[in-house]
Every structure is written in structure tokens, then in C-alpha cells.
Amino acid sequence: MTEFIQQLFNGLSLGSIYALIALGYTMIYGILRFINFAHGDVFMIGAFSGYYLGIVFAFSTSGGFTSLALAFLILIGAMAICSVLGLVIEKLAYKPLRKSPKLTILITAIGVSLFLEYTGQLVFGADPKSFPTLLENKPIVNLSGAVIGSNPLVVLITAAILMLVLRMIVMKTKIGTAMRAVSFNPTAASLMGININAVISFTFIIGSSLAGAAGILYGLNYPSIDPLMGILPGIKAFVAAVLGGIGNIPGAALGGMIIGIIETFVTGYISPTFRDAIAFGILILILLFKPTGLLGKKEVEKV
């Protein structure tokens, strides 16, 4: 039983990281109706931003930073870097193609993804780097005797806060309302005076900053990072977004948690070799039996 609780907790912690990435996929899909394949690599850039910021800040740690404040600063820094990156990708690669066939945009997204991965390999080096220990991982024993780490707990809490903030932005602010309007009907939204381009840029900024945060949280939990690390979490987060119903924000969060828990249980109880194949299995099943996802709505294709 205690092992079960530990696994469940680790699964939730991993799932919250997937959920943060999945939110970016699902928001961009909601607005532009295309899958940003490069999103997983934005996540990778987030982790590397944390790595280099950590090195830079490490020289000034004697200046009285508590390690929690330092970690917070690095988190914000990585989010800022990633949001700029997301904006640049959108402006340079996707915006000129807004009226092109979907296939063209899809191929471009794959190109952007490869570009980030291999430029990363060139700039950062291909070998794995160890992510700086931002916070000490203290074991916490709870009532049932299960031992959980403090870092996974920090990850879970941070992810939950970020998701709540996102929820506030989307539901309560003016730009959030505009995002929902564009997602619902872009033409009508632009007729109502909404600046579509601004909304798209904002969506990329928000989505990419969440991926950046996920990168830091990932580094906190699994401190080995490399330029190709974004591929698998990216695909798994995409599966999470599809599982929850692509375009649906609470769905992405739910899907991420489910994928994280399933993956942890498969690794723990069945075999770690099938860890990476399981996400694809889930994807295929969900697309066959409920392609709209758990919380998604059916869309009718108009002729």
C-alpha cells in the first residue's frame, strides 16, 4: 500500500509536468487548429535556460538569496526566455503560412522542431548535463508511512499554481475572453474588433512559458538534461492533450495527470522497457474509440 501511494504521488508529479506541456499544445490547437510539433523542444530550451541561469546565479548566491527565491527567479527567467522563443517561432515560421494548407504548416513545425533539437546539440553539446540542484530533495514521511520527496511535491504545487493562474487568465481577463472568442470562431471574433494576430501571439507566449516552467520542474525531478530530451515528453504531452480532448484546457490538465500516473505504474509494476511505448498505445486506443477525448466536443467538418 505504501508503495502504491508513493507511485501514485510520483505519477501525479510527473503528470503535472506533462499537463503543463499539454496546455501549450491544446491552447495553440484551440486557436490555430494545428499541432505545434516544436512545443516539446521549447520545453527542452526551458530546461537548458534553467541550467545556464543556475550557473550564472550560482556565483551570486552568497549575496543572501534563499534557495527557494533563487529557484523562483530561475523559473521566471526560463519562462521569459521560452515565451520570447515561442513568439519568435510564431512570427518567423508559422505566421507567413497562416493561409497555407495544413500539411505545409505541419511539415514546417517538424522542421522547427528538428532545428531546435540539433541547434541545441551544437550549442549545448550532445552529452547529457546534470541540472543544478536548485532545491534540496528532503524525504517527507506521511501518515501511512509512504516516503515522498520534497521536490516532487514542489513540482506538483508549482504546476497547480501555474494552472490556476492560467485558468484565471483565460476565464477572467479581457485577453482571455478574446482567446476563447478566437477559438470559438476566428472570423466572427475579428469582426467584433479582436486583433487576431495579437491573440495568437499571446497564446504562443503563454503556452511557451508554461513549457519553459515544465522544463525547470522536469530538471528538478530528473536532473539529467540533453538537447533531445524534449521529444518524448513532448509526444506524451501531446497524447495527454488528445486524451483530454484537444482544444480543451481542463482536459489537457486531466490528460497529463492520467498519462503521468499510467506511465509511473507501468514502469513500477510491469516493465520499464515499455515505458515509452505506452503513451503511443494510449493514443491509438483513444483515437480509435473516442477521438474527441475525454472532455472534448465533436467537431463537424464543414464542406
Partner 1 sequence: MKNTKILFLISVVLIFGINLLSDYINSYYYQIIIYAGINIILATSLNLINGYAGQFSLGHAGFMAIGAYLSASISTYFAPSLLSIFGDAVIGKAIWFILVLFIGGVGASIVGVIVGVPSLRLKGDYLAITTLGFGEIIRVVIQNLDIIGASQGFRGIYVYDNGVKSLEMIPELSGITYKFYSIPQYTDFFWAFLVVAIIIFSITNLIRSTYGRGFIAVKDDEIAAEAMGINTTKFKVTAFVLGAFFAGVAGGLYSHFVQYINPEDFNFLRSIEIVVMVILGGMGSTIGVVFAAIILTILPELLRDVQQYRMIIYALLIIIMMLVRPQGLFGIKLQKKKKITPEQPPKATLKD
Binding site for partner 1 (CB under 8 A): 34-35, 93, 96-97, 100-108, 110-115, 117-119, 121-122, 231, 235, 238, 242, 273-274, 276-277, 279-281, 283-284, 287-288, 291, 301, 303
- For β-strands 139-141 and 224-225, DSSP reports them as unpaired
By C-beta, is 211 or 246 nearer to partner 1?
246
Q: Which is nearer to partner 1, 4 or 274 (CB)?
A: 274
Considering the complex, state which of residue 183 and residue 221 has its C-beta at the smaller distance from partner 1.
Answer: 183
Sign of CA dihedral 67, 256, 83, 198: negative
132 to 55, 64, 171, 204, 253: CA distances (angstroms)? 8, 18, 36, 28, 27
Report the nearest approach of partner 1 to the CB of residue 168 (Å). Answer: 29
Q: Supply the minimum distance, in Å, between the C-beta of residue 252 and partner 1.
A: 15
Nearer to partner 1 among residue 276 and residue 295 (C-beta): 276
User: In angstroms, what is the minimal distance from the CB of 201 to partner 1?
Assistant: 19
Element housing 3 (H / E): helix 2-32
Cβ proximity to partner 1, 214 vs 246, nearer residue: 246
CB of 99 to partner 1, least distance (A): 8
Count, residues in the chain: 303
Our CB check for partner 1 shows the closer of 220 and 283 to be: 283
Q: How far is the CB of 298 from partner 1 (least distance, A)?
A: 14
Give strand pairing partners of 141.
147
Distance CA 217, CA 147 (A): 20
Task: Give one DSSP letter per residue of 119-152, joined into a string.
Answer: HHHHHH-SS-EEPP--S---EEE-TTS-EEEHHH
Placement of cell 530561475 in the chain: 74
CB of 33 to partner 1, least distance (A): 9
